[in-house]
Amino acid sequence: MTLGTDLVLLAVDEARGTVRFAAQLGIALAAAELVDLARTRRIEAVGEGVRVVEELRTGDPILDRTLARLSASPKGTALSSWIAMQAGDRVMAHLAAMIESGELEGRMTRLSLDSPVKPVGLRIVGDRRGQLIEKLTDAVLYDAPIEDEAFAALAQAALIPRSVLAGRTRYRVQKAIKPLLSWFSDTWRFLPGVADELRLGDDDVEDGDVNPVDEEPWRLLIRLAVGEALKSAPAITRRSERANGLSKDVETVLLMSYALEHHL
């Protein structure tokens, strides 16, 4: 199982047969592929970019295609550029692969030759979803490996917790996840106590440093990739909310016009 597969399984809305928040999920999946490749030591960070250090196949078709793309890209490709370029087709690529592998039921279809491919009738095969919800919760509330923390942070970027968690668990996760997001987003400096450490002259931290704990290059890439997703996804959410607000305003105006015209 890859990180991307886990995110898709949580993002599937079986009631509608599709995925929730596809645009945000695309950003999270582009970053998740980098996390998986870094975790398996195929890539690492170089400055604010990424470089391939091992071209050996992983055995996963999605990751292998991404690795080949990275190998063919200019050296030191910026993470922000890579994630932005890849995000657009990641959801459909992952869904198609998971339907083919039997992890999902459903099909990909077009309404016309010119229309984009869309998923129809998505259903999760097996009961892994419950395990993933537990994994998400544990990664936020307890100590966890960096790849599990990345999973939780990317799930948040894709707005998944609000859909799969409920009640007190949702409240606890939303409250406890803030320091984790701050660490991945490099806003850790603003957490309680950090300013005091900086004033005392912490030798491991310099102004503008993005590697405050002397991370290995593969771990640093995970952190930077997740941080980039956390910066990019909210912008998509804001644009979507503005568009929805505009649509509602237009609908309200049309309803008022109809009411006035018909003296309602």
Both tokens assigned to 114? 């010119």
pLDDT tens digit sequence for 192-203: 565 665 565 554
pLDDT tens digit sequence for 6-49: 999 999 999 999 999 999 999 999 999 999 999 999 999 887 78
pLDDT tens digit sequence for 118-151: 899 999 999 899 999 999 999 999 999 999 999 9
Domain that holds residue 125: 3-261
Mean pLDDT value across residues 233-247: 58
3-state secondary structure of 135: helix
User: CATH number for the domain including 154?
Assistant: 1.10.3630
In sequence order, which ranges of the chain are alpha helices (DSSP H)? 3-11, 22-39, 61-72, 79-101, 128-141, 146-157, 161-164, 167-184, 194-199, 217-261
Q: How many structural domains does the chain have? A: 1
Residue 200 phi, psi (nearest 5): -80, 0
* pLDDT band, residue 233 (cuts 50/70/90): confident
Mean pLDDT value across residues 62-73: 95
pLDDT of residue 200: 59
Q: Which residues make Cβ contacts (< 8 Å) with residue 9, sequence separation at least 6?
A: 103, 104, 124, 128, 129, 132
Would the pTM count as exceeding 0.75?
yes
pLDDT of residue 56: 93
